[in-house]
Amino acid sequence: MIVEEQFSKKFTETAANPRHRGAWYPEDAAEKGMALVQAKYKDSKLYWLVDIHEDRVYSARFFAYGGKVSLAIGETLCAMAEGLTIREACSLLAEDVERQLRDDPENPAVPQSKIQAFEVVEALLKIVESEYPTAKAVAQAGAAAKENQDAPSLAELSLAEQAWLGLSKEEQISQVDLVLDEKIRQALMNDGGNVQIVDIVDGKKIIIQYQGACGNCGSSIGATLSFIEQTLRSNIYKDLVVIPNDYM
C-alpha cells in the first residue's frame, strides 16, 4: 500500500529532468509553416506546434510554475501528445497522464492529496481543442499570403495596389465584406460571434467592431484578429492593417 507522501520513482525522475520545458513562438510556427496552439490554465501553459496538413502535434513544449507536480504533469502530457493528431491528443485524460507516471500499475504515482492536480490536463486540452481551428486558419492564411507574395512580379503587385487604392471607400468596404462573408464570418458565427466594418482609412486601416461572443473573447485581439488580418491581406491587399474599434 502506498504511503501518503510517497511519489513514484518515475514521477521523481520526470519532475527533475523535464525535456519539453520551453516555448514556441509565432515566428517559429511561421518559419516551419505550422500552427502554434497555446493554452494556459492556472500555473501551466502549453505551446504546441501542429502540422496543419495532418493536424498532428509536431513538437510540444510547456511552462509550469506550480512545483514538481506541475512539472511532471506538463512534461508527461507533452511527451504523450507528440506524434498524435490533435483529436487523439485532446482525448487524453487526467488518469492517462497519472498512470504514465506510475512504477506499479496498481499504485498511484503521487499521494492522494496530489491527485486533484491532474485535473489541469483536461482543462488545458479543452482549450487546445477550441483554439486549434483558429490557429490552423492563421497558419493557412500566412502560407497563402507568402505564396501570393512570392508569385507575382513587382509590376503585377504594383498594379494590384493601384487597383485597390483606386476604389472608392464604398467599393473597398464591399470588397472586404465579400471576403469576410466567404472566409471568416461563418467560423465566427459558429461560436456565437460576428464582425462588422466600421471604417476604412486611407485604403490601409480597416476598423472593425466585434459582435456577440467575439466581443468578450480573449483571442479577439490575438489569434482571431491575426486570422482576419492575414486573410484580408492575402485576398485583397498585402499592407492592410485590421484594428478593433475598441482599441482606436
Domains observed in the chain: 9-131 (3.90.1010.10), 152-247 (3.30.300.130)
Considering only the C-alpha atoms of the chain, give the largest distance between any 2 of them, rounded to a whole number of Å.
78
pLDDT confidence of residue 3: 44
∠ Cα 14 18 19 (to 5°): 125
What is the chain's alpha carbon radius of gyration, rounded to the nearest angstrom? 22
Nearest Cα neighbor of 40 from 218, 190, 215 is 218
Mean pLDDT of the chain: 86
Q: In the prediction, which pLDDT does 217 show?
A: 64
User: Quick one: pLDDT at residue 154?
Assistant: 45
pLDDT at 5: 66
d(CA 226, CA 175): 19
Residue 127 CB contacts under 8 Å (≥ 6 apart), including other chains = 39, 40, 41
pTM exceeds cut of 0.75: no
Mean pLDDT, consecutive 10-residue stretches, the chain (248 aa), reads: 70 93 91 93 95 95 92 96 96 96 94 93 96 90 70 54 81 90 87 88 89 67 81 86 76
Contact (Cβ atoms closer than 8 angstroms) between residue 201 and residue 225: no
What is the reported pLDDT for 125? Answer: 97
What whole-number distance in Å separates Cα of residue 7 and Cα of residue 106?
A: 13
Residue ranges in the chain assigned as alpha helix (H):
9-16, 26-32, 68-81, 86-89, 94-100, 119-150, 154-165, 169-183, 185-190, 223-235
d(CA 177, CA 184): 10
